[in-house]
A and B are shown apart, each in its own frame.
Chain A
Amino acid sequence: MSGFVSPFLVHSAVQAITPLLLAALAGSLCAQAGVFNIALEGQILVGAFAAVAGSFHFAGAAAGVACGAAAATLFALILACGSTMLRGDAIVIGIGMNLLASGLTAYLLRQMFGVSGTFDDPRIIGLPALRIAALDRAPLAAAVFSGQTALTWLAWGVTALIGVGLFRTAPGLRLRGVGAEAGAAATLGVAVGRYRAATVLGAGALTGLAGAQLALGTISVFSEDMSAGRGWIAVVAVMLGRNNPLLAALACVLFGFADAVGLRLQSLGMASQLTDIAPYLVTLAALLLGRRPRQPA
């Protein structure tokens, strides 16, 4: 067993957590503001594509990350406007956005880079792994903290920031008020629509970072539909955390480890088709164990 839980496993778990965490934070923020955001999946995909395109064109990982965040924010504009000014159904908009993201990235992949399936090019510059030399003697600590990307550090920093901002500041209180009781918040002079739209856009930027980590973090490629359900796992994390971003982060840690265990089993010779299922099975189990008591319809 000690051979199974290797520093390598922990390292790949921490890597796997980052995109989930960023997306789950985005989803939690939206849920707190009263917007059910199921477009996370599509936003991650848009972010991943733009990150790869940006890194390729501007020859830099930082430019790629900026492009990923900007593109996903722009994309989130659909939900931001659709669910506030236009009062559309967030679920229908979310489904539409996910499919649009899938189609649009596949279309642009062919038109911009002339390839289909996977875009792999040495000119796509990945995020550098930040090594911490001082930890070389503590393998487990090194596995967690050393060799991670700046985005991983940023993700956990943002988690803390959101925890404080949401529960300890006045704008955070207003944001929660907008979600909990929009009418009351409006009576107190809070601009409900503006709070919601801003939250959805901010969440878009976070999911864009998630996409950037996915596409530039460990490998530097873009493949069609590479988000592969991570946005939906983030939605589950939000549900399990009862919209609390800190609890959702905890759920992401669990899912990230499931992902890493799957990778480890694969290296032990298990078929990838089976190990790829692992995160979904853990997610399903977590849903069943973390369920709320039955509510009347």
Chain B
Amino acid sequence: MRRLRPPAAVLAVTAALGLGALLVAASGADPLTAYGAIVTGALAWDTLPNTLNWAVPLVGMTLAAAVPLRGGMVNLGGDGQLVLGGLVAALVPLALPPAPGAFIIALAMLAAVFAAAAYAALAAWGEVRHGIPMLVLSLLLSYPMIGLASWLVGFPLRDHSSGLPQTVLIAASARLPELGAGIGGGALAMLLVAVLAVVADRRLVAGYALRMRGLNPRFAAYGGVRPGRQALAAMAISGGLAGLVGAILVLGAQFRFTDGALLSPGFTWSGLMAALLAGGEPAGAIAAALFFAVLQTGAFAMQRETAVPRVLAMILQAVVILLLAARHGLDRRQAGG
């Protein structure tokens, strides 16, 4: 997967907005009003913190998808890894004896990251050791994890004082503190991760080796990269990032694991699309994720004000990817003569 030049992405976004406008018009609403509601709903001064809080998990899941993608691999199991991370982060504070809040938060986040990393690495192990394609295996491992988590919070770990299948609330001291102005503490962690990802991609040997694998796996192997170990590492990092997102959402916003609450916003799939948009290049992927975050939070406002369903945002994202895939192909044909 070659890195895309920005103009191609801009073109695809513009065309997708055009197609979306047609769809909105066809269902009897005014496209300009709808798009206007998206922009003001996401970028007005008082809604900005909201947009930023939505962007944090989305950027996280984008990086989770971008890391393997940079090496030409696809992790479709982000949902399962996200759920595992969230579940672990919700259970660790309940299981620990009373301790300083910072200690509990750190331990819960670490546990979530490592659990999800190990689970994701399982998919790489299946491909490396058993030749089962990672693409399919990662997704198939996701469903049982979601089902298992759903059963755990529905029965053995359920908070019986609430009507919903969810765990007991985490004590206030073990919650991620706010940075102020309604911005959650996860934003800081995600900023750090984002910087690390860009630096690793541009400056570290491991980042270079992964990029080479994406361009030509045989060249990378010839250059001394061990493909199996690299696949395991890339998937572990990817899963760890998804686990971190789960932990941030649970410790910073939801304060408990509620069945389905981590998955309903669809961060995994939006993140995968943002990563695809940039061909796995972290800086571009983060930019795409921020754009999608604006689109999605704005879509909530659009749904309130114009009765156009907010799933329009998801349609626009998918159309961008499809247009880019086609455009990408056109480029290749011209290059090939």
Say if the beta carbon of B269 comes within 8 Å of chain A.
Answer: yes
Interface size class of A (residues with CB under 8 A): 35 or more
Q: How many positions in chain B have a CB within 8 Å of any CB in the partner chain?
A: 52
- What is the predominant secondary structure among interface residues of chain A facing chain B? helix
Residues 138 to 152 of chain B near chain A (Cβ within 8 Å): 139-141, 143-144, 147-148, 150-151
Residues 118 to 153 of chain A near chain B (Cβ within 8 Å): none
Q: Which residues of A contact B76 (CB under 8 A)?
A: 95
| A233, B319: Cα distance in complex, Å | 25
Q: Which residues of A contact B318 (CB under 8 A)?
A: 96-97, 99-100, 103
Q: How far is the CB of B29 from chain A (nearest CB, A)?
A: 9
Residues 278 to 337 of chain B near chain A (Cβ within 8 Å): 309, 311-312, 314-315, 317-319, 321-322, 324-326, 328-330, 332-333
| A64, B318: Cα distance in complex, Å | 26
Whether the pair A91, B135 counts as a contact (CB closer than 8 A) is yes
Whether the pair B140, A106 counts as a contact (CB closer than 8 A) is no
Q: At the interface with chain A, which of B39-47, B126-134, B200-208, B248-256?
A: B126-134
- What is the predominant secondary structure among interface residues of chain B facing chain A? helix
Say if the beta carbon of A154 comes within 8 Å of chain B.
Answer: no
| A111, B308: Cα distance in complex, Å | 8
Q: B311 is contacted by which of A106, A229, A236 (Cβ under 8 Å)? A: A106
Closest residue of chain B to A87 (Cβ to Cβ) is B329
Closest residue of chain B to A276 (Cβ to Cβ) is B147
Assuming the contacts A88-B325, A281-B144, asked whether A99 and B136 have C-beta atoms less than 8 A apart, the reply is: no
Say if the beta carbon of A284 comes within 8 Å of chain B.
Answer: yes
Q: How far is the CB of B229 from chain A (nearest CB, A)?
A: 12
Say if the beta carbon of B137 comes within 8 Å of chain A.
Answer: yes
Residues on B facing A (Cβ under 8 Å): 1, 23, 27-28, 74, 76, 126, 129-133, 135-137, 139-141, 143-144, 147-148, 150-151, 154-155, 217-218, 221, 227, 269, 272-273, 276, 309, 311-312, 314-315, 317-319, 321-322, 324-326, 328-330, 332-333
What are 19 contact pairs spanning A and B, CB under 8 A? A38-B135, A78-B322, A81-B326, A82-B329, A86-B325, A86-B329, A88-B328, A95-B272, A95-B273, A97-B318, A100-B319, A116-B309, A229-B139, A232-B136, A273-B150, A284-B140, A288-B126, A291-B132, A294-B131
Residues on A facing B (Cβ under 8 Å): 38, 78, 81-82, 86-89, 91-93, 95-97, 99-100, 102-104, 106-107, 110-111, 116, 229, 232, 235-236, 239, 271, 273-274, 276-277, 280-281, 283-284, 287-288, 291-295, 297
